[in-house]
Amino acid sequence: MNDLLSRLRAGLPAEAVLTDSDVTASYAHDMASFCPAGAPAAVVLPRTVEQVQHVMRTATSVRVPVVPQGARTGLSGAANATDGCIVLSLLRMDRVLRIDPVDRIAVVEPGVVNADLSKAVAAHGLAYPPDPSSWEQCTIGGNIGTGSGGLCCVKYGVTAEYVLGLDVVLADGRLLSTGRSTAKGVAGYDLTRLFVGSEGTLGVVVRAVLALKPAPPRQLVLAAEFGSAAAAGEAVARIMAEGHTPSLLELMDATTIAAVNRMTKMGLPESTQALLLAAFDTADPAADLAAVGELCRAAGAAEVVPADDEAESELLLAARRAALPALEAVKGTTMIDDVCVPRSRLADMLDGVARIAAEHRLTIGVCAHAGDGNTHPTVCFDATDEDEARRARASFDAIMDLGLRLGGTITGEHGVGVLKRDWLARELGPVGLEMQRSIRQVFDPLGILNPGKVL
């Protein structure tokens, strides 16, 4: 231990190395439930690429694992420490290095907060579309590590589609540059895409070149109430089949609606079994909302409420933004699943989750990015009740099994981490798992980068 700390301090400012156990314990885990976390030997907060390289060279020399971290808002345990590791927090590498309105790119360090980047590029009439729910806290490096998404994915896509190039410090301290700053480029294997979603198991991202879009017009929102999940699912299918491209298409089930009502007193109709929110940021959003409203009515919507202006749109979206805090308030602890299914199986997913909730005697609310089939079943439980916690974990696994049986995937945007590692093997199959392990071995032959995560 003393040798490790002395080597680290030889190339780092004193304030960059934290060893007080009370302080390091606060860096031990992210926001996931049921994911073990160890006690780190030290937490290092570098400010430069050279300092990150020093940490990785030291770790390789003394064979100590390194756990890269962002803001620890993740939901899979990917940022959890292991006993005796170096936690490498990138929070202090938080500079927006360049914004180029001509090439429509931003060059940033990994500790830049998503919302801060959005505000910075907005000043140039541009937008960085990926918007995870934790966008006011989560960092770009963390978003890249987990391949995160957000509410706008149905139109604008996920983080991977905006990462053009990366600087990555490898396990042995070498600096690798991937990708490009140009609008096009197909030279060599796409190593950039390989690092996106790798959860810190292949290298440490220290700089990113991100694609930007012109800032869209303000969106208008519509709310549609349905008497069944099947009717809401049919509406989603009709909207997408007709070629509409909403900027947002979100769904909340009856359990979530009831929880939001209890917390916010919004007065959402308790008879509603599914609430669908659709938004458009087109040149004529009112016309698009009218067309989608007709499709919702044809699918069986009991009521369709389009907003007239931005203020009304914000009121309609307030219920969706309140969903997760409202579900957390039900029992005090939640497990948020992240199963993505084909849009055509969305209703089957919601109905299946309702059956799982009844079978395990639990409250499970579902909110979903309905436009891309990404569901977030949220298991509410009392963590101090041993039997209820056991049932919560069992229901979580049952939900992932359901998603795979419906032709889906175990994660659409939260990543694998510790929580879903065993399920990844089932989704990939033996050949796929072997190939992924081989790739990891190439980048990290000593196995020191985020051990125990993903594979």
Single out the residue of 320, 311, 239, 313 nearest to residue 274, CA to CA: 320
Mean pLDDT (the chain) is 95
Cα–Cα distance, 404 to 356 (Å, whole number): 15
Predicted local distance difference test score (pLDDT) of residue 51: 98
CB-based contact 124:105 (threshold 8 Å): no
- Here the tokens at position 444 are 């990290």
* pTM for this prediction: 0.94
Distances, alpha carbon 441 to alpha carbons 60, 214, 274, 385, in Å: 14, 40, 46, 41
Predicted local distance difference test score (pLDDT) of residue 452: 95
Four-residue CA torsion sign, 57, 196, 35, 257: positive
Strands (E) located in 147-293: 163-169, 175-179, 204-211, 213-214, 220-226, 248-253, 274-280
Predicted local distance difference test score (pLDDT) of residue 174: 98
CB-based contact 210:165 (threshold 8 Å): no
Predicted local distance difference test score (pLDDT) of residue 268: 83
The amino acid sitting at 176 is: L
**With a cut of 50, which residues of the chain have pLDDT below it?**
none
